[in-house]
Structure 1
Amino acid sequence: MGGLPPEVAGVTTTEQHHSLLAEAIGDEELARKAMIHSYRRSLSAFAANISPQEAKRLSEKSSVISVFPNTIRKLLTTRSWDFLGMPLDKTKRNRVGESNMIVATLDTGIYIEAPSFNDEGYGPPPAKWKGKCDNGANFTGCNNKVIGARFYNLNPGEDTVFPSPVDTEGHGTHTASIAAGGAVHGASLYGLARGTARGGVPSARIATYKVCGDLGCPDMNLLAAFDDAIADGVDVISVSISGSAGNFFDDVIAIGSFHAMQKGILTSCAAGNEGPYEGTVQNVAPWILTVAATNMDRQFRTPVKLGNGMKFSGLSINTYPPEKAMYPLISGALAANSSSDPYLNASTCDPGSLSIRKVKGKIVLCSDSSGAGYTIITSGGHGAIIAVDEEEDIAFTTLLPSTNINTRIGRQIAHYINTAKKATAVIYKSITMKANAPRIASFSSRGPQFVTRDILKPDIAAPGLDILAGYSKLASITNEAVDQRHMTFNIISGTSMATPHASGAAAYVKSFHPDWSQAAIKSALMTTAKPMIANGSHAPLDSGSGLLNPTAAVHPGLVYDMSLGSYVSYLCKEGYNGTTIGLLAAGKPHLKCSDFPQARGSDGLNYPSMHLQLLADDTDFSTVFHRTVTNVGYGNSTYKATVHAPKGVTVKAIPNRLVFGEQHQKRSFAVVVKGKLERGVHGSVSAVLEWDDSKHIVRSPILIYKPAI
């Protein structure tokens, strides 16, 4: 997984891979048959079908960083860019610079016929573009908007990816259009969320790398896509795929994004959909921009009326208007199929548990169930009312007229069904309502992360709840085969949808500052983010630095920049072997950690946020964070430090004034944090450091986390 080594005496990188594999297997011919793929454009690695014993022998070679099994990873969406302060006609843009931006998505491919990817008015691809466009079924070829499209199907013995760049799932089309889709007026899902859909950089180009199929996203596909995207000349890489929370050298997303970082390419990744539990955040390498998901200031609710006059609304995306005033209403318990498996639960509308005769044409009340819609539609039912223990914030698109309500209302409906002579109900088409925002979505994975305990993750938050964006007509809007609705726009939720918002914002900043490093762009996005509040205090475990604020990030004032050497020093501090780091960083097996400056402070990296994890039995804490900022604002400027800290925590910036005489000048400071937590108390305390020159506020969250005993 290392940097590209120099060719030795005319021996190519691929030939070096074959030789290394042959040494481990013990036979040249068997090694050539075992080789699956040689990664050689931007990094040096190979995938091969070998035994555990052969893998062990390979891992013992001094020139090998790591050997690990191929893992199948999971995929983790009009109004969102307005919500982020980027209205279409009022946002300042560098049109030429934006048109030169290339956003890469590693996903399920693309449906190029979607209106988000119309290339009318676009010139030819940027001169830096070195990619290609693969051919395949149901794919009409690239254009001047979608300038590159590749697909990968490297998993041995399994055709996990349909052999075409075309998107048969809808996910890749959705994420690509969020990041860089062109403006489409009047977009909606059957009239819901009607407005102008567009990406963060609507004039930018898109390169898609299809790495995922029905069974997920194999590691070997992901690494091949990183290898190509870096060499193809992209500017930002967007990865809405589950990540690892382990050793960086065993994680293809961490490895691929490290090589991207070396070329100045920012990789943004999904934080994961395992919330609301702590310690679930994924994709935590410090050179990745890790993105959590928020709601927006709207939600979709579905009104319901009972025959007794009772009215309520539930959470769902129901595209079906009623065809008559009322429909018969029954509960799953009363509609049970007496001949079904006794272990099936009719109350939760398990598949096969309901009588088709009793359900046909009716609305069915079900207890907490994720598969009720499929059961009822295949049983001939008209609709579903699903009583859930906890009404979540996510609205799913339903197979048939359906909505989720809480169990309290569910009990009232059940009482009506059990006491009425003929119970009836009607489910109306969903409507858009105002919502309190921003709030972290319930499903969004939380910190802390336990790989590098002194780096706060997630880094930032962006809209990921109920997002309308482009979609593939080769997939139904629910991805169910029984669903006959096929649209070029759909409403989906997930940190998958938050990630391309951050990717588009990064490309937007880079269109103004093409010479900025990926660390500088990441810093600009983080230090200008809007702090999010939960339970009356800052919530960095949920949202990192806060809600994305793209237009402010163009003029951040100061940035926390980092070079390759910064990351090398940090990895050395974390205990990674110098030889291994050298192979990863530059294909140099003789790198010594002693040759790099020792990382200073408790965290040792010039990160825009500050984080300390205590031991479970710690009470008193005292730590120092060392940071250096670069002036990218006005030449002559003075920044003053302001600290917001809770009772019992003291935070001091030393010095508390930073004076700059010119642009690109650097100034260093230390942040001393002291405090005390009660013994046996689990939780976190947070503070905020702000540098203010009266024109910019450069904000850094400070989080002290204490685990449970």
Structure 2
Amino acid sequence: MTSQPRRASRTRRAAIGALLTTSIAALSLPLATPATATGQDSPLAAGTYLITLADQPLATYDGTVDDIPATRPTPSRKLDVTTTNAKRYRTHLVDEQTQVAKKVGATVRQHYAVTTNTFSARLNARQLVRLAATKGVTGIAPDKFHHATDDKNSTDFLGLSGRKGLWASLGGTAKAGKGIVIGDIDTGVWPESASFKAPALTTGKPTGKHGGKPGKDDRYRPYLDGTTTVMNKADGTTFKGTCQTGESFTAAACNQKIISARYFGEGWLRAVPESNRGGYISPRDSEGHGTHTASTAAGNAGVRATADGKDLGTISGVAPAATIAVYKALWQSKDGTQDGGLTSDLVAAIDQAVADGVDVINYSVGGMYESEYNDPIQTAFRNASAAGVFVSTAGGNAGPEASSLDNTAPWTTTVAAGTIASHTGTVTLGNGKSYVGVSTSVQNTVGSAPLVLGATVKTAGADAADAALCIKGTLDPARTAGKMVVCNRGTSARIDKSAEVKRAGGIGMVLVNLGNESTDGDLHSIPTVHLSGPDAAAVRAYAATGNATATLANGGKSAVYPQVTGFSSRGPSLDGKGDLLKPDITAPGATILAAVAPPGNAGRDFDYYSGTSMAAPHIAGLAALYLAEHPTWSPMSIKSAMMTTASPTKTNDGKNSRDVFAQGAGEVEARAMLRPGLVYDSSEPDWLAYLEGVGVDTGTGTKAIDPSDLNYPSIAIGDLFGTQTVTRTVTATSAGTYRAKVDLPGVKATVSPSVLHFSHPGQKRTFTVKLDVTTARAGALATGSLTWASGRITVRSPIAVTPQSVRAPAEIKGTGAKGSATYSVTPATSTLTATTYGPVSSPLTKGTLTGTAEVYYEATIPAGTKASQISVHFDLDAGNIGGLVWGPMVDGVLQSAQFGDVDSEGTATISVPQPTAGTIFVAVIALDETGTGESVTPYTYQVNNIAEKSPATGKVTVTPDHARVTPGTPTDLTAAWSGAPAVTRSTTWIEYSNGAGTFLTLN
């Protein structure tokens, strides 16, 4: 059952520590927990906070204050902040914010009025408490750091290029996105890049050849009006920006491609001492992230990319005729500890972008934890979307963990990262076996040469684990020269590993993942192939043998694509409670070649980056293409068009993936998105009703809706208790008769009406979908789709529901060899059944923990296991003990779970219903930092696997075991046991319909 205990490796200890680490999220009113807080009992800390007030910002103001008319834009128009009414209302909001701050003796640091009615101020604990009780204050949040989320040509893969590509159908690259402004909120821009080369801005409005009215192709040419940069846009409104000067950045840096550039660092500059500030205090990018995202979204077409003297081919932005407005709000610190941007600066950037008049915002910023819907940034985005701005956000790079997404609000488009055709390299071993991985650095064949592990060629003083990772300074030139080195992924940057191998005289590197992670096409300093999974393990094992050799060569069969990358964050959204499917869509995000800033990229002008940060600007660019064709479309209509025309991503075996929490609606299809047939639209009133439905008090008096009823292009129900009906409304973009079809195994779906007829575009029709659980397994995600079809047009919406057949306690407990326990369950149907399996009691394994040690066991979950319970029993004075389990536990997906609190008997338990067969790892950890290494903690360890025919150690019955009941009405059941072992824990699985169940844990 178990192997002998052994010490965890350094990387495994790091993984355990990361999983055990908890975070303190910002709380909603009455008080926000300061970013520096260490727990609920910590005193409230002084710091900078953002205080949001009840009155609407300019973007959504409807004319309800005093005698100031509404400023919110009418449908199909953008916000104009230059009107007299807008200026009057902004003054009103600023005065209001100032007065609220004065009430508690605070001074406003920054005012926000366009997308959020918010101000920032430094507050002490007393001021926090008083503000929380102040009428009109709806939110208080700490000013915290945010960070950039970290066919071989993505534009070719998306079908943009070529004679039959989307660009050609739009009139060529010179017109693809023309008249549209994309605002990029990021680390700034390197304006000298060839991806941004364009004519200088000229003074005065565009005119025709002879000074008259400008021609059709010239009407969107940006120009200077004094110090203001101006562009007449496709929707008939005007963008007005500026080229803000600063360190190494003059007004001449802007041109007809980069039409505006600003920087927002008031909060960051205040928080970071001058001695630790890196980069440029200006819109100039020193890191490269912002340059990469901007050039991906709207860089020039047909740019020749080179790096390190190598020709990397021709690249283009997705919307090459669109213009770019830069809003730098992410910064670099010299030691790397204060990289990123503060909430106050990011909100300021969003506010200004909407005020300037951008059409699209790209926000490649995200964290490992989900931002709350009423977070100041998400609120600003809500009002930006209400003002007609399409917002594309990165989902985050914390995958493949479940519920690791960020930026999950319904009013933004949350983007997952997908693969494209790989740049490949082949590792051929001396034993004749070959493995294909990702490589952009192997141009010619290298080797045959000795193949060694990093740890075997380490310097005398280096730690073996560090050398295995090829950490800087760990490899011995005398032992490395002329060899190929196998380096483990982790701890240090991937390109730093190849640099270390090169420094030590190595001629090549095989970069290997220790887990099933992504493979990336970095520009390494020596020929490198990146492997993962079994291939990586095989190469590591071979390199550990004597006289191992290898050859590196360019090329090899590419992996199946598009797949969602391993690093791409997954749903379900915790804020949405499973009732809103996120991410929305997948776009190319792996090994994307684009322009970068040379200072942060070893002097290169172009480089390959991977991340959802790279996927988001693809969607932003596609939105610009859409708006150039349909300038008055709403952001949600465009999102719907992209989602309902997307295609499922692939699994390793080439089949269509059903993992909607990874891919959303699937991979975006650029050529199909302009012909959606039907769209699901929504606006601010819908989002407010949704917020009320998930428990967020908007202070608007809006009536709540069931969150699953938000008019969204996907359907999600986090808790489908027997049956539920959802409602949707579609708007036709083309006439036709559409027929419904639902694919949702185990759930009966009834669409009413199932046929919708539209005589002309713009017509709306409402329908319902009733979902009834039939055979779908309780508690397990069921996925599928609803498709409306009319001729060659298909409108596909993903569905994600978690069926429940009964509401029952997860666990009941009992003691003694004989006894009974009565408990209540609520059935979803008129028939209730209860079947017992067990009790099962496996042998105990004894062990000890010394000091701050950790021990882990490997255990097997056999095929046919219905439920498994893993328990560790400690002496009651054992101190602070923790642990976790990870392995293929549920639905074949790598999952992890932590032990809860030790109970009154000194036992910590993890109960796993319906596990997938396979190997799990159980870690037992002493968390007390005694430092002496002398404390010894004995424990016993037990895994109880329950199968249908498991040998029982005693007897358990449940009464009644079959009964006619009233759906939704609680019913009492009694579990009785006898013959249970008195000295060891035993487990029984009580199973109801559809695989739902309750653990009975005895002794």
- C-alpha distance in 2, partners of 1:113/1:379? 35
Match of 1:650 in 2: 748
Per the alignment, do residues 337 and 254 of structure 1 end up closer, same or farther by CA in structure 2, a change over 3 Å counting? same
C-alpha contact 2:183 2:358 (8 A) present in aligned 1: yes
Higher percent of residues as helix:
1
Q: Give 1:203 deviation, angstroms.
A: 0.5
Q: Say which is worse superposed, 199-208 or 371-380, in terms of deviation.
A: 371-380
C-alpha contact 2:679 2:730 (8 A) present in aligned 1: yes
Aligned Cα root-mean-square deviation (Å): 3.0
- C-alpha distance in 1, partners of 2:588/2:377? 23
Per the alignment, do residues 702 and 206 of structure 1 end up closer, same or farther by CA in structure 2, a change over 3 Å counting? same
Higher relative contact order (CA 8 A, sep 6+): 1
Q: 1:446 aligns with which of 546, 554, 570?
A: 570
Q: Give 1:248 deviation, angstroms.
A: 1.5
Per the alignment, do residues 315 and 369 of structure 1 end up closer, same or farther by CA in structure 2, a change over 3 Å counting? farther
Q: Give 1:414 deviation, angstroms.
A: 2.4
C-alpha contact 1:103 1:205 (8 A) present in aligned 2: yes
Please give the residue correspondences for 1:137-156 in structure 2 after superposition, counting only pairs within 5 Å: 137-139=247-249, 140-154=252-266, 155=268, 156=270
Match of 1:59 in 2: 132
Q: 2:322 aligns with which of 180, 183, 204?
A: 204
- C-alpha distance in 2, partners of 1:210/1:355? 42
Amino acid at match of 1:66: G
Match of 2:425 in 1: 302
Secondary structure at the aligned position of 1:126 is classed as: strand
Secondary structure at the aligned position of 2:191 is classed as: coil
Given the alignment of the two structures, is residue 83 of structure 1 paired with residue 157 of structure 2, yes or no? yes
Q: Give 1:59 deviation, angstroms.
A: 2.5
Secondary structure at the aligned position of 1:203 is classed as: coil
Given the alignment of the two structures, is residue 157 of structure 1 paired with residue 271 of structure 2, yes or no? yes
Q: Give 1:136 deviation, angstroms.
A: 2.2
Q: Give 1:299 deviation, angstroms.
A: 1.0
Match of 2:484 in 1: 363
C-alpha contact 1:631 1:662 (8 A) present in aligned 2: yes
- C-alpha distance in 2, partners of 1:623/1:258? 28
Match of 1:337 in 2: 459
Q: Give 1:504 deviation, angstroms.
A: 0.9
Match of 2:117 in 1: 44
Amino acid at match of 2:510: I
Please give the residue correspondences for 1:115-514 in structure 2 after superposition, counting only pairs within 5 Å: 115-120=194-199, 123-124=221-222, 125-127=230-232, 128-139=238-249, 140-154=252-266, 155=268, 156-158=270-272, 159=277, 162-189=280-307, 194-214=312-332, 215-243=339-367, 245-249=370-374, 251-296=375-420, 298-304=421-427, 308=430, 310=432, 312-313=434-435, 315-319=437-441, 329-340=451-462, 345-360=466-481, 362-371=483-492, 372-390=497-515, 392-397=517-522, 398-405=524-531, 406-415=536-545, 418=546, 420=547, 427=552, 430-431=554-555, 433-453=557-577, 454-476=579-601, 484=602, 486-514=603-631
Q: Say which is worse superposed, 119-128 or 150-159, in terms of deviation.
A: 119-128
C-alpha contact 2:115 2:381 (8 A) present in aligned 1: no
Per the alignment, do residues 677 and 704 of structure 1 end up closer, same or farther by CA in structure 2, a change over 3 Å counting? farther
Amino acid at match of 1:248: Y
Deviations 1:388-411 (A, max 9, x none): 334644224224333334121222
Q: 2:690 aligns with which of 556, 570, 588?
A: 570
Q: Give 1:685 deviation, angstroms.
A: 1.3
Secondary structure at the aligned position of 1:234 is classed as: coil
C-alpha contact 2:187 2:328 (8 A) present in aligned 1: yes
Amino acid at match of 1:19: Q
Q: Give 1:255 deviation, angstroms.
A: 1.3
Given the alignment of the two structures, is residue 593 of structure 1 paired with residue 709 of structure 2, yes or no? no
Q: Give 1:12 deviation, angstroms.
A: 4.9
Per the alignment, do residues 322 and 632 of structure 1 end up closer, same or farther by CA in structure 2, a change over 3 Å counting? closer
Per the alignment, do residues 209 and 433 of structure 1 end up closer, same or farther by CA in structure 2, a change over 3 Å counting? farther
Amino acid at match of 2:681: D
- C-alpha distance in 1, partners of 2:145/2:647? 35
- C-alpha distance in 1, partners of 2:512/2:175? 52
Secondary structure at the aligned position of 2:750 is classed as: strand
Q: Give 1:651 deviation, angstroms.
A: 1.2
Q: 1:21 aligns with which of 101, 120, 130?
A: 101
- C-alpha distance in 1, partners of 2:481/2:424? 25
Percent of pairs with identical residues: 32
Per the alignment, do residues 189 and 353 of structure 1 end up closer, same or farther by CA in structure 2, a change over 3 Å counting? closer
Q: Say which is worse superposed, 498-507 or 355-364, in terms of deviation.
A: 355-364
Q: Give 1:473 deviation, angstroms.
A: 2.0
- C-alpha distance in 2, partners of 1:89/1:196? 17
Amino acid at match of 1:114: S
Paired residues in the alignment total 661
- C-alpha distance in 1, partners of 2:581/2:761? 29
C-alpha contact 2:452 2:543 (8 A) present in aligned 1: no
Q: Give 1:10 deviation, angstroms.
A: 10
The normalised TM-score by structure 2 is 0.62
Deviations 1:102-148 (A, max 9, x none): 01111111111111112249832522111111112333521011111
Deviations 1:480-539 (A, max 9, x none): xxxx4x222211111111111111111111111111111111111111111335465522
- C-alpha distance in 1, partners of 2:89/2:590? 55
Per the alignment, do residues 366 and 641 of structure 1 end up closer, same or farther by CA in structure 2, a change over 3 Å counting? closer
- C-alpha distance in 2, partners of 1:512/1:275? 35
Given the alignment of the two structures, is residue 515 of structure 1 paired with residue 632 of structure 2, yes or no? yes
Secondary structure at the aligned position of 2:640 is classed as: helix
Q: 1:68 aligns with which of 134, 138, 141?
A: 141
Per the alignment, do residues 537 and 649 of structure 1 end up closer, same or farther by CA in structure 2, a change over 3 Å counting? farther
Higher percent of residues as strand:
2
- C-alpha distance in 1, partners of 2:666/2:466? 43
- C-alpha distance in 1, partners of 2:702/2:562? 43
C-alpha contact 1:330 1:364 (8 A) present in aligned 2: yes
Amino acid at match of 1:408: A
C-alpha contact 1:344 1:352 (8 A) present in aligned 2: no
Per the alignment, do residues 382 and 537 of structure 1 end up closer, same or farther by CA in structure 2, a change over 3 Å counting? closer
Q: Give 1:542 deviation, angstroms.
A: 1.3
- C-alpha distance in 2, partners of 1:189/1:651? 54
Deviations 1:667-705 (A, max 9, x none): 1000111124566x6532122111112142111111113
Amino acid at match of 2:658: H
- C-alpha distance in 1, partners of 2:376/2:156? 34
Match of 2:959 in 1: none
Given the alignment of the two structures, is residue 103 of structure 1 paired with residue 186 of structure 2, yes or no? no
- C-alpha distance in 1, partners of 2:789/2:309? 45
C-alpha contact 2:785 2:798 (8 A) present in aligned 1: yes
Q: Give 1:627 deviation, angstroms.
A: 0.5
Secondary structure at the aligned position of 1:501 is classed as: helix
- C-alpha distance in 1, partners of 2:504/2:702? 66
Per the alignment, do residues 555 and 316 of structure 1 end up closer, same or farther by CA in structure 2, a change over 3 Å counting? closer
C-alpha contact 1:253 1:283 (8 A) present in aligned 2: no
C-alpha contact 2:371 2:407 (8 A) present in aligned 1: no
- C-alpha distance in 2, partners of 1:160/1:613? 45
